Amino acid sequence: MSTNVTSFPHNTGVNNGRRVIERLKGTGLVTTERGKESSVRYHLSLTQDEVDSGTGDQPHFGPKNFAGQIWCPHDGSFVAIHLGQIMTLRMEDGRRLRFTHRNRDGGITVTQWIG
């Protein structure tokens, strides 16, 4: 696996009421429910929505959300074959999350952040 993770652990600003906390980009390893492993690429963003506090004070933020894509550059059918299945991604930095593909473009829904 390559080791060039692009990670920005600090607040990178607020856009349209959404604060980007971290961007993750790199090569990882996906494990299916049956234990099959595949090398994948990922582009993920960890964000928080700004919540109107109503007081005019500093903004308050809601729960953290993941968005992004995970795909296999060596297998064009990877996403279609595993669409809707819960899988585990191990990122270059060792962090892991469980996810499902929500569309054929590789867009994901995170079901559990493992850490």
Task: Determine the pLDDT at residue 60.
Answer: 73
* Average pLDDT along the chain, 115 residues, taken 10 residues at a time: 36 62 95 96 89 67 84 94 96 95 93 88
DSSP state letters, 46-73: EEEEEE--SSSSS-EEEEEEEEEEEE-T
Which residues are within 8 A (CB) of 109 and not within 5 positions of it... i.e. 6 or more apart? 99, 100, 102
Q: Residue 79 burial (CB < 10 Å; 0-12/13-18/19+)?
A: buried
pTM value > 0.85: no
